[in-house]
């Protein structure tokens, strides 16, 4: 067994055949992840005790002849913005360096109920704000494919863990691209489901109207299997949807012939040629599979960056108000209550969070609310309508994930605008709340992975997986 390349099916088969026990596999996975971690800094902490207990439960179930569950024995890494009972959850922030949550996120409960083994919590940009994992208070993550480069962000640790093979699958969170962009940079599959498809209960809020929990995996089927477990109504999250959950991995086998794929011209016009060529080669493969490719327009794309960075900072400024030195946090004392708040927040938040709190407070303030926040909400509606119009003509959209492959550590930290602008292709889908994913579509001449983005209508994940699965099979980039 090569632990670094295991798939969910291989783990389940191995357990069924008694090739290894869940406890043996978990021990090995933990040892491997701990040994590899200095290379990438992907994990902030390991949850060995909890993992071994969960594995023992899986083994007991097998001994009793019970079904091992869709994620039975599978080592899973979870982004450190998702709360885990009794296991430190830092959100990549100094403010929560010692925070041990008293409850589990719904996503974590569901994956453990399905037999999954939580092996550790992964590094990320502070409160999920960033595109490079460099805003973590606990140091950046290195891209396992090219260690002088970023893994993308904000879920860089989860993407790196799956790419380096220390977890079979992982959970990330995506507000404006934080699953798809690191998946593209590290050469793995990353899925942002429809807004409301997966419960956000226990996901630390960054921008509540945009936050999603979603899977990372090394192949499409594993991502589909993980989403199948996570998805569905949760009474603890009023925004979670009642829509029935299809059996995504099973539905993947239907064909894609005749499927209509839109190529949004706005996404290709300024795209650097190396990335563009790889995406277009991916599109060629879709054509060979019998898909019909159409030129489409998403006319409000150019406004997405401005719109997103107004809405997300507004919501973040409100959500982050709770870190005040009274609740959750490490406290920095002061002579008065106000001084204590100021000192705690001043010492605790990193630069990126402070920048966003200031921007968000500004766009929500009296006099500017109408000019910025309300305007941005209207633009968001236009962007959502662009997609609704497009999906009248096509079944899915193929697009780039990011204008460039993984950049060098430190390359963009001095220029936040440049970092924000590079989110252009992922922000639109997030603002519209549609399902989107990144699927590897090749490597640059320097050997850096590039992902192709696939998007479908709200709750159209089954179509998206079918397309991505067919593409994965047809493309020659997969082992």
Which residues are near ligand GLN by CB under 6 A?
A: 128-131, 154, 174-178, 206, 312, 423
Shortest distance in whole angstroms from residue 3 CB to ligand GLN? 29
Question: What is the Cα Rg of the chain in Å?
Answer: 21
Closest to ligand GLN by CB, 176 vs 449, is 176
Is 154 annotated as catalytic?
Answer: yes
Instruction: Supply angle C-alpha 160, 165, 168, rounded to 5.
Output: 100
Is 131 annotated as catalytic?
Answer: no
Closest to ligand GLN by CB, 290 vs 410, is 410
C-alpha dihedral over 253, 258, 262, 268, to 10 degrees?
Answer: 80
Shortest distance in whole angstroms from residue 382 CB to ligand GLN? 20
| Marked catalytic residue, from 47, 131, 136, 154 | 154
Is 178 annotated as catalytic?
Answer: yes
Are 33 and 119 in contact by the 8 Å Cβ rule? The answer is yes
Closest to ligand GLN by CB, 92 vs 469, is 92
Closest to ligand GLN by CB, 117 vs 162, is 162
CA distance 144 to 41: 10
CA distance 163 to 451: 13
| Marked catalytic residue, from 21, 79, 155, 412 | 79
Closest to ligand GLN by CB, 175 vs 456, is 175
| Marked catalytic residue, from 21, 47, 93, 178 | 178
**Closest-CB residue for ligand GLN?**
178
Closest to ligand GLN by CB, 59 vs 423, is 423
Shortest distance in whole angstroms from residue 146 CB to ligand GLN? 20
Shortest distance in whole angstroms from residue 206 CB to ligand GLN? 6
Shortest distance in whole angstroms from residue 98 CB to ligand GLN? 23
Closest to ligand GLN by CB, 56 vs 421, is 421
Shortest distance in whole angstroms from residue 399 CB to ligand GLN? 16
Q: Is the peptide bond before 154 cis (omega within 30 degrees of 0)?
A: yes
Q: Which residues pair with 174 in a beta bridge?
A: 212
CA distance 305 to 297: 17
Shortest distance in whole angstroms from residue 358 CB to ligand GLN? 15
Of residues 87, 123, 92, 122, the one with CA closest to residue 105? 87
Shortest distance in whole angstroms from residue 174 CB to ligand GLN? 5
Closest to ligand GLN by CB, 174 vs 395, is 174
Of residues 178, 89, 202, the one with CA closest to residue 125? 178
| Catalytic (active-site) positions | 79, 154, 178
């Amino acid at each position: 067994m090569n632990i670094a390349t295991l798939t969910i099916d291989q783990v389940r088969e191995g357990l069924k055949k008694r090739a290894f026990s869940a406890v043996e596999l978990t021990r090995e996975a933990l040892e491997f992840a701990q040994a590899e971690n200095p290379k990438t800094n992907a994990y902030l902490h390991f949850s060995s005790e909890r993992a071994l207990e969960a594995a023992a439960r899986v083994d007991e179930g097998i001994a009793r002849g019970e079904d091992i569950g869709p994620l039975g024995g599978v080592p899973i890494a979870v982004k450190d913005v998702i709360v885990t009972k009794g296991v430190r959850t830092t959100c990549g922030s100094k403010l929560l360096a010692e925070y041990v949550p008293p409850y589990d996120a719904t996503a974590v409960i569901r994956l453990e109920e399905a037999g999954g083994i939580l092996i550790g919590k992964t590094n990320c940009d502070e409160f999920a704000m960033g595109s490079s994992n460099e805003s973590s208070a606990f140091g950046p993550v290195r891209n396992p494919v090219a260690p002088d480069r970023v893994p993308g962000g904000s879920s860089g640790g989860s993407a790196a863990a799956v790419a380096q093979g220390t977890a079979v699958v992982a959970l990330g969170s995506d507000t404006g691209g934080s699953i798809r962009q690191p998946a593209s940079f590290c050469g793995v599959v990353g899925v942002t489901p429809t807004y409301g498809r997966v419960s956000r209960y226990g996901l630390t809020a960054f921008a509540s109207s945009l936050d999603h929990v979603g899977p990372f995996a090394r192949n499409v089927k594993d991502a589909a299997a993980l989403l199948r477990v996570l998805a569905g109504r949760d009474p603890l999250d009023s925004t979670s949807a009642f829509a029935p959950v299809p059996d995504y991995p099973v539905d993947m086998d239907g064909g894609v012939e005749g499927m209509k794929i839109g190529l949004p011209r706005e996404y290709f016009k300024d795209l650097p040629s190396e990335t563009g060529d790889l995406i277009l080669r991916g599109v060629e493969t879709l054509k060979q599979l019998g898909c019909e490719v159409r030129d489409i327009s998403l006319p409000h794309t150019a406004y997405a960056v401005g719109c997103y960075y107004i809405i997300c900072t507004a919501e973040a400024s409100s959500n982050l108000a709770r870190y005040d030195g009274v609740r959750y946090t490490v406290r920095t004392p002061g002579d008065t209550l106000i001084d204590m708040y100021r000192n705690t927040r001043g010492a605790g938040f990193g630069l990126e969070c402070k920048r966003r709190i200031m921007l968000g407070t500004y766009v929500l303030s009296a006099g500017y609310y109408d000019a910025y926040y309300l305007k941005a909400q209207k633009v968001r509606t236009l962007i959502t309508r662009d997609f609704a119009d497009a999906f009248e003509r096509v079944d899915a959209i193929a697009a780039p994930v990011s204008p460039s492959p993984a950049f060098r550590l430190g390359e963009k930290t001095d220029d936040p605008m440049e970092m924000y602008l590079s989110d252009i292709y992922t922000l639109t889908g997030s603002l519209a709340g549609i399902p989107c994913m990144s699927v590897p579509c090749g490597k640059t001449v320097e050997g850096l992975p590039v992902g192709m983005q696939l998007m479908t209508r709200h709750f159209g994940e089954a179509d998206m997986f079918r397309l991505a699965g067919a593409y994965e099979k047809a493309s020659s980039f997969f082992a």
